Chain A
Amino acid sequence: MRYLKHLQDIKFSPLALLDLTYIVVLLPLLLILKIPMLIFVGIVIAILIFKRTPTQKLGIFFIFILGVLALYLSLYGAFSFRGLSRLKLFLELLVYILMIVVAMQRLTREINFYLLISPFLFLALSLFFYHGMLMLIYVVFELFFLLWMILSHRMEGNVRDGFASSMVMFMYSLPWVVVLFIFFPRISFEHANYGFKSESIKRMGHDGTMYLDSKALLVPSERIVMEVGFENKIPPSHTLYFRGSILYTDKKDHWEGLPIYVKRETKPFYATTGLPIKYQISLYPTQKLWLYTLDMPSRMVKGSTLDRDLITTVKKPVKEPIHYEASSSLSPRFHDILDKKTLQASSFFDREQNPQTYKEAQKIEEAYISMPKRAKALTHFFKMRSLTYTLKPDALDINHTTDSFLFDTRRGYCVHFASSFVTMARMAGIPARIVTGYKADPANGLKNYLAVKEEDAHAWAELYIDEHWVRFETTSTASKVESNGEIIDPNQSAQSTSNSLYKEVNLYLMYVKYQVETWILYYSHIRQLQLLDYAKKNPAFIVSFVLSLIALVLLTFIIIAYFKRPQYSSETLAIMQPLLKRLKKEDHLRSDEETLHQYLLRYSNSYPQKLLIAEIDRLYEHMIYANENSKNKQKELKTLIKKFLKQKNG
């Protein structure tokens, strides 16, 4: 309010208020305008700035022609009657037409009904085009701004008083909005899939192949691929494996899924052992078919397919952010019975391709009959090779990738570790396969929120042991980790990256964004039911919910009281208010013509025994007219008034 004080004496004309309103409501729509339309808008603004008189009919007709031309050029090629069935194009056309009409009306410099209602139409139209968190903030601001401008108009252009009144009104309505938002029955159709302007960037996703050479998918980017909200706190780090695709076939330089002719039974064995967990995922566009679920999914995600390998896919590539709920049993293993062809595919290897590895694998196979022991021996063998985990590995011999990695370069990252481990496991007689997905870093989590980034992309191995697929973290066999050219201890590497304040702040912001998106932007009928269900199970939640609502109402009343407080011409007069209220309460009313001094004098004459009043009057007069308004004097006046108010019967 202090910053608005200098606006106190400025009165905005109705046209100025209307212009400000148009600037605010048109801002998001300007981002969707094509260049010809932007030029048109620029011309209209230039005319309004440089020509201060109403435009004549001919000029308005010229603007109309110009507007139609801009509209034609903007939609040239995109527009046809068939195209109108595309709602987005139709809405774009509506925006253009409305802009032309508003420009024509505005140039007359007269306010009419159409100019008054058009900002609301622009606001409603802009809601079709954007649906992100930024737009949420902007829409709330827009609504407040519209209210501010309306009230300023009602208050003879006084924006300062308009601000205070609009704040009061906004605060009155806020608790209602919250209650309506939570409880208003959501009976909508499916969420429309247009809009999302800010989310057109493609994220990295897995596509059922894994390259070992320079084509390998290595994106050390911090861009978020998905955001996960757990019901409770984030599970331990060693369980945060998000399954993507499964790879069975070694193609020398890359791995692929099962050959097309192998048709596995579709009915999966759901994971039943392990810690059951529920969570929501917001997956950003990957342009791929895979959805990610924590190892091991225990229920099919709505609208997707879960195959025998517990891999979740959708029919169409993910081109817009999608939000789904998933359930998993946190376990590194799950039961499966392999058919003959799958078993063959999981056991296939070419001994000529990696002879050295085969030789070592044979030794292990011969030494250990038990599969778990063999697997353990394999892990031990990898650990003994002094392998280095690095994102900048040396090029492998593409015809002998495993040999090259284990016996030559001994440097690589997850794909090289997983590929070599699976190859050697097969050579040692254990069916194995590669799983690609994400291994989330708990450092990117806060409370129940976890952000999974592109740099968390990972590959690991699954070995088929005793009718179970068992996960093996192959990169844990690395003896050294190389980061930015430096060798660091693998046990410390996970902690060394997340200490900066920037990261922490960024994480908090991401957490807030996620919560807003989950509970506001994507709040739905299902969420309502969940909330209700949760409330039924947790009476304490109902109490805390009601208390939160009461707190919100109290907060709004505090803000209202602040903005509704009477404004006095001087600080001294404000100090006098408790006294004046008391005198009024005593039915000692001040007449319109009476000065404060006369009023107090009259009181003194009526009640000569109340000597303090005369003293207060003297001090007040001195402070006002001698302009001695120091802090000490104010304190003195306050003390005198307090003393007077404390006295019985004044």
Chain B
Amino acid sequence: MKSLQKFIQIHRSINQHATRFSLLVVIMLFGLFMEAYMHDFNLVYITFFFVFSLAFSAGPIGVLNLGNIQAKFNIQGRIFAQKETNILFNINNTSSTSSWSITLHDNNDAKVTLTQIKGESSKNAVLPFLVYKRGTFTYDNCYLESKYPLSTARLTKPIDEVYEGIAYPEPKGRSLDTFLHEQETHYGEEKEFDGLREYDGSQKVSHIHWASVAKGEMSVKVFTKETKIHNLLFTYNTLPGDKESRLSQLCLWVLECEKRHLTFAIQMPHKQLTSKKESIDEILETLARY
């Protein structure tokens, strides 16, 4: 009784859809019935009953195959517009038997095929995810799908989780080094040689390591900074381009500053954001919602 209740519960959590093989089974049953009816062949009747019973038993078997699978997803880290990220799903099989032929889908037609999920075990799967525009987004309508065992029905099990998040502007534009190069005096004083790095055109000419140039490589000397300027200011209005490209530029610099542990301020048209007062995430969120 308990098993039946459990089965009913599982059955309710699953949606069933017809496939072209469903139609094929119907045609086959009709054809076999006609063959049996016209010629009174018990062999055909037996085949007919087997096809019917197998198609019939495929339903509960398919439901149990998919119904015992629980899936959860976990979105960690920052999501940026136009940057593909991976969503990690944890797939758990609660039954003692293996489940087969299951695919994981999201609402953007991305899917991944899961290999055998052994009984009472879990596995991880990853789905790519891309947000096209900055701002808030919702990640939902993910589902598990299976045509096991006979492809006569497409079973889907929705993953009930909904994630509402924020996508930050796509970080792109000039690098922070270029910005600092333009305002080199504001960046502090070189103190101690830290190593060589590949020259990318944005560094000072005086920092070029000429010995490496002689060897056919072009490196620049990097120094640790003893003091850092405290008045690194990015002004929204002075940035070139449209609104989106300005926000993208600011987003890039914010991330670079975070990486280099630099404090900074952003002068927005009606508001100033400073890294001393607000966390990086708060600043990025302000940019995302702007």
Indicate which residue in A124, A150, A156, A173 contacts B31 across the interface (CB closer than 8 Å).
A124
Which residue of A is nearest B123, CB measured?
A: A592
By the criterion CB–CB under 8 Å, are B45 and A181 in contact? yes
B2 shortest CB reach to chain A, Å:
14
Find out whether the CB atom of B40 lies under 8 angstroms from the CB atom of A189.
Answer: yes
B115: A residues at CB distance < 8 A: 156
Could you tell me the distance in whole angstroms from the C-beta of B41 to the nearest C-beta in chain A?
Answer: 6
**A139-B46, A180-B52 are known contacts; what are 15 more A-B pairs with Cβ within 8 Å?**
A120-B28, A123-B47, A124-B32, A124-B44, A135-B43, A155-B116, A156-B100, A169-B54, A170-B54, A173-B50, A177-B49, A181-B49, A188-B40, A191-B39, A523-B42
User: Which of B57, B58, B151 is close to A176, meaning CB atoms less than 8 Å apart?
Assistant: B57
B40 adjacent to A190 (CB under 8 Å): yes
The CA of A592 and the CA of B61, in the complex, are separated in Å by 27
Q: List 26 A-B residue pairs with CB atoms under 8 Å apart, sorted by A's residue number.
A: A117-B24, A124-B32, A136-B43, A154-B100, A155-B101, A156-B115, A156-B116, A161-B98, A161-B100, A169-B57, A170-B54, A172-B57, A172-B60, A173-B50, A173-B53, A173-B54, A180-B49, A180-B52, A184-B45, A186-B40, A188-B37, A188-B38, A189-B37, A192-B38, A192-B41, A520-B42
In the complex, A165 has a CB within 8 A of chain B = yes
CB distance from A168 to the nearest CB of B (A): 7
Task: Tell whether A546 is near chain B: CB-to-CB under 8 Å.
Answer: no
Is the C-beta of B84 less than 8 angstroms from some C-beta in chain A? no
> Interface residues of B: mostly helix, strand, loop or mixed?
helix
B46 touches A128 (CB 8 A): no
Size category of the binding interface on chain A: 35 or more
Interface centre among B32, B115, B149 (most CB of A within 10 A): B149
B:2-51 near A, CB below 8 Å: 20, 24, 28, 31-32, 35-47, 49-51
Q: Which residue of B lies closest to A180 (CB)?
A: B49
Q: A161-B98, A187-B37, A566-B119 are in contact. Are A168 and B47 (CB under 8 A)?
A: no
- Docked CA distance A131–B44 (Å): 9
A515 CB → nearest B CB, Å: 14
A532 to chain B, nearest CB (A): 18
Contact present for B57 and A150 (CB under 8 Å) = no
Q: Evaluate whether A131 and B54 lie within 8 angstroms (CB atoms) in the complex, with A150-B150, A169-B149, A177-B49 already known.
A: no
Closest 10 CB pairs of A and B: A173-B53, A188-B40, A192-B39, A176-B53, A172-B57, A180-B49, A191-B40, A177-B49, A154-B101, A173-B57
The CA of A158 and the CA of B101, in the complex, are separated in Å by 12
Residues of B participating in the A interface, judged by any CB pair closer than 8 Å:
20, 24, 28, 31-32, 35-47, 49-54, 56-58, 60-61, 96-98, 100-101, 115-116, 119, 121-122, 147-151
A127-144 interface bits toward B, Cβ cutoff 8 Å, 1 = contact, 0 = none: 110110001100110010
**A120-B28, A127-B44, A564-B97 in contact; A592/B122 too (CB < 8 A)?**
yes
Given contacts A150-B149, A169-B58, contact A124 B43 (CB under 8 A): no
Pick the most buried of A140, A172, A177, A564: most chain B CB atoms within 10 A of its CB.
A177
Closest CB in chain A relative to B1 CB, distance in Å = 16
Contacts of B35 in A (CB 8 A): 124, 127-128
A190 to B116, CA, bound (A): 50
Q: Report how far A117 CA is from B49 CA in the complex, Å.
A: 18
Q: Which residues of B contact A155 (CB under 8 A)?
A: 100-101, 116
B31 and A192: CB pair below 8 A?
no
CA of A641 to CA of B119 in the docked complex: distance in angstroms?
A: 22
**Beta-carbon contact of B149 and A189 below 8 Å:** no
In the complex, chain B residues whose CB is within 8 Å of the CB of A130: 43
Contact present for B40 and A521 (CB under 8 Å): no
Report the Cα distance A569→B286, complex, angstroms: 54
Chain A nearest Cβ from B110, distance in angstroms: 21
B152 to chain A, nearest CB (A): 10
Are the C-beta atoms of A180 and B53 separated by less than 8 Å?
Answer: yes
Please tell me if the beta carbons of B40 and A524 are within 8 angstroms of each other in the complex. Answer: yes
Instruction: Tell me, rounded to whole Å, the shortest Cβ–Cβ distance linking A174 to chain B.
Output: 8
The answer to whether A225 has its CB under 8 Å from any CB of chain B is no
Residues of B within 8 A of A156 (CB): 100, 115-116
